[in-house]
Structure 1
Amino acid sequence: MSIRIAPSILAADFANLESEMAQVSTADLLHVDVMDGHFVPNLTLGLPVVKRLAEVSPLPLDVHLMIEDPDRWAPRYAELGAASVTFHFEAARDARQCAADIKSTGARAAVAIKPGTPADAVTDLLEDVDMVLVMTVEPGFGGQSFMPETLPKLTALRAAAEQAGAAPWLQVDGGISVETAPYAVAAGADTLVAGVSIFGPADRAGAIQAIRDACRH
């Protein structure tokens, strides 16, 4: 199984984002957290910043919307250049239609679930989305500790996808590091979001490679 690494710019230096992005160009995706201060108690960035990031990023943008009313806003992020747009199941009025609207722009559509949301809440969407994001921390802030109790959801989703004949990527986000990534991959994840563990060290390429190596071993 091929493992994709998505550095989260939530842990980057916001005053030097273009330089920070260049230093993680050996990854597969660039994870961009959009928070509105309502769905989660934090506020980050929005449409104009994502548009500019898409213009200069060396990697496809993986935009994670932690916002209210994703049914309205998710397609806009896709239209501005995001390669993948993730909305939260807990926030969407019509998750299946939201995914369809994202995909109609040519972008990949993904649905995310919080730690307290069971896997079976989204099993009927596995054929409608390109990725499922299982949050391994409570959404809203970077630098939190990995929650191992979320891992059985990955195993359940992988089994349900195989039974349905679907093949969505399974992503994890929260507390991912050299130590925790192998557990996530063993449980079924194939796409790993990592913030502090990549942007914390001076050698970002080395940090990315260390996670890849840990998952292989």
Structure 2
Amino acid sequence: MSLTPIIAPSILAADFADFGNECRVLQDQGAHWIHVDVMDGHFVPNITFGPQMCAALRPHIKGVMDVHLMITPVDPMIEAFAKSGADILTVHVEAGPHLHRTLQAVKAAGCKAGLAINPATGIEFVPQVLDLIDLICVMTVNPGFGGQKFIHSQLDKIRALRGLIGDRPIDLEIDGGVTVETAPLCVAAGANVLVAGSSVFKGGSVANPAPYGVNMRDLQAACA
């Protein structure tokens, strides 16, 4: 894990007509991870990308392709998204009947296994699957849309999860409402990966990518 938080720009806030170039310029500006929000219109009230889109993005992503599966049932789609080139596949506890089996399937498919925890979901089950997890994603908004307000009650959950993780090599990721105001609160609570959409993309574009770099550095500097 990194002492300086990893900023993982969410392409949900990018130009949908130019994803390949958006990934390229984000990485040129310093992004090491690209976060891909997969939504099915069923588990969450929005529809975004399928495995074909992830496969199309893969050649444009030099670093980590962090794929967040907000879909149910999730088990039948694990292999397809793994084959699309995902480095990390993050699943929700509510997205299948047997969490342990789902995480095993992610690992068997050759990906790192992430577990996403919604705002109203507790963490009492986490110790039972810690040995299968490479990443825990704390949802600090309700999943389904970008641009929502940060839910401050989740800071206690982040602290508790950091205590459970201990010295295990598990990334603790925050997804939702990450800004220069909320990012330092998350890092102080124990997070080391910050998914950020509008706060990275504001003021920039493929034609003018410099603001992307400024915004990412501002988020990291706020956490110093």
TM bin, normalised by shorter chain, reads over 0.9
RMSD, aligned α-carbons: 1.2
- TM-superposed CA distance for 1:74, in Å, is 2.1
TM normalised by structure 2 equals: 0.92
Aligned residue for 1:10? 12
User: Hey, what does 2:195 align to over in structure 1?
Assistant: 193
8 Å CA contact retained: 1:54, 1:60? no
Q: Which moved more, 1:183-192 or 1:49-58?
A: 49-58
2:54 equivalent to 1:50: yes
Find the counterpart in structure 1 of residue 126 from structure 2: 122
Give % identity.
Answer: 42
Corresponding residue for residue 104 of structure 1: 108
Which string of whole-angstrom CA distances, capped at 9 and with x for unpartnered residues, describes residues 77-124 of structure 1?
Answer: 112200101010111222112112111232111010100001223232
* 1:34 counterpart SS class: strand
User: Distance between the aligned counterparts of 2:165 and 2:194, measured in 1?
Assistant: 18
Gaps of 5+ in 2: 205-210
1:71 maps to 75
* One-letter amino acid of the counterpart of residue 96, structure 1: H
Structure 1: distance between partners of 2:110 and 2:66 = 14
- Spell out structure 1 runs of 4+ moving beyond 3 A: none
Q: Deviations over 1:9-52 (max 9, x none)?
A: 00001001112112210112100000000000101110110111
Q: Do 1:23 and 1:205's aligned partners in 2 also have CA atoms closer than 8 Å?
A: no
Distance in 1, Cα, partners of 2:103 & 2:4: 24
User: Quick check: 1:213 aligned with 2:221?
Assistant: yes
Between 93-102 and 38-47, report the one with greater CA deviation.
Answer: 93-102
User: Is the contact made by 2:91 and 2:115 (CA closer than 8 Å) also made in structure 1?
Assistant: yes
For structure 1, which segment, 174-183 or 115-124, has the greater mean C-alpha deviation from structure 2 after superposition? Answer: 115-124
Counterpart Cα distance in 2 of 1:2 and 1:74: 31
Gaps of 5+ in 1: none
Are the equivalent residues in 2 in contact too, given 1:110–1:131 (CA < 8 A)? yes
Q: Equivalent residue for 2:156?
A: 152
Aligned residues between the structures: 214
2:70 maps to 1:62: no
Q: Which amino acid aligns with 1:143?
A: G
Match of 2:180 in 1: 178
> What is the distance in 2 between the residues matched to 1:123 and 1:116?
18
